[in-house]
Amino acid sequence: MHAASLSPAYTIEEVVNNFQVLLEHMDFEQELTLAGVGQARFLLRRKLKNEWQILMIALWRLTLERSFPHDGQIIFDTFLERHTAGLGANRAKNFMERVKTYVESLQSHGDTDFMPAGERLLSLIKPAASAAPALQLRVALHIRSLYTLIFDRLI
């Protein structure tokens, strides 16, 4: 583990632990309801919950970049090490690739446009063409609210 300190007030471990607690307390029911995924769609619900969790991790990376420009990558790597430790090699690789996809998308748009991330999530649902634009906007706005939540509880 990394022993470096961010500042006299916060260590890398404290920042990682704080996000881990936030992530563990998210149930993503509101997100599934927003996307119109009912209780009977078990497999899709599980897949979407995992996808929302991965998006939350990528959003956290964006907040780290903004709040800890010099230590953000170290903090993120520490979290990923811990989070993937119990996964098998294939699951860890798949997880890391999915996180990387969202991180790259968010880095290219910053905190100004969450539409691409929302589109990626909605591609798993395949909403009706007539409902897609409104749903994409609602999901993008919700992603912005999650980003704000993460930013507010960063430390």
- Range scoring the smallest mean pLDDT among 8-22, 55-69, 124-138: 124-138
On whether residue 95 sits in a domain, the answer given is yes
User: What is the residue-averaged pLDDT of the chain?
Assistant: 88
pTM of this structure:
0.88
Q: Is 114 domain-assigned?
A: yes
Residue 28 counted as domain residue:
yes
Within-domain flag for 6:
no
Domain presence at residue 36: yes
In a domain, 2, yes or no: no
Percent of the chain with pLDDT over 90: 54
Q: Residues 12-28: pLDDT tens digits? A: 999 999 999 999 999 89
Confidence of residue 3 (pLDDT cuts 50, 70, 90): very low
Query: How many Cβ atoms from other residues are within 10 Å of residue 98's Cβ?
Result: 18
Q: Which helix (H) or strand (E) holds 130?
A: none
Q: Determine, yes or no, domain membership for 7.
A: no
CA distance 8 to 149: 24
| 113 lies in some domain | yes
Q: What is the pLDDT of residue 44?
A: 85
- Quickly state the pLDDT bin for 4 (edges 50, 70, 90): low
Number of domains in the chain: 1
Contacts of 33 (CB under 8 A, 6+ apart): none
Q: 26: which 2 tokens?
A: 């998210």
| Residues 111-149: b if buried by 16+ CB within 10 A, e if exposed | eeebebbbebbbeebebeeeeeeebbeebbebbbebbee
Q: Which residues contact 100 (CB under 8 A, 6 or more apart)?
A: none
* Predicted local confidence at residue 62, as pLDDT: 94
Look up the domain containing 108 and give its range.
Answer: 12-152
